Structure 1
């Protein structure tokens, strides 16, 4: 049986906040697979920028494997890091959408301490 996943050869590193976590749309019957959805912004980097180019936020879907005891860490507004292979698809609205197959995933807990 051929894989339903496209062949991914490019690598991307994403640091962003989670918008939503959903069951994996490709493998809905496997409960440990999920999709982290985020809106990624592209920022200016040294010589890799042109003022004539508008860069709007890009919808991103990160496909991940999460054990049941890890799911509680990945909720909306949690900051996460993901590395993985990716492709870019076009949405029905003719916008780009990044699809990432995560090779590594981490979350970052931020606590605001108030010192009196």
Structure 2
């Protein structure tokens, strides 16, 4: 089992999860984070820290797509270990549906 970041993170990117991860397995895209499934130790401390409820165990229904997305982009985006400020409009996108199709960016973030 591993944890994955879903589209609920897109345009929210709160980053509370980054500070609690004991193995630094988060990677930063332009407008979301992902978890490297090969580095995640399945501890689950990140899941309750996410205000957007964007982190799920891969045993939840319909997470196969997210395992693939997290694996792909964690190999391309920079590692992030320090919490940064969330986007100013993050709260406006919290809970919005269809964010992957409308807002996802494959561009990397800045990392640490």
**Would the TM-score normalized by the shorter structure come out above 0.5?**
no
TM-score by length of 1: 0.24
Higher RCO, Cα 8 Å, sep 6+: 2
Instruction: Please identify the structure whose Cα radius of gyration is greater.
Output: 1
Higher helix share: 2
Higher strand share: 1
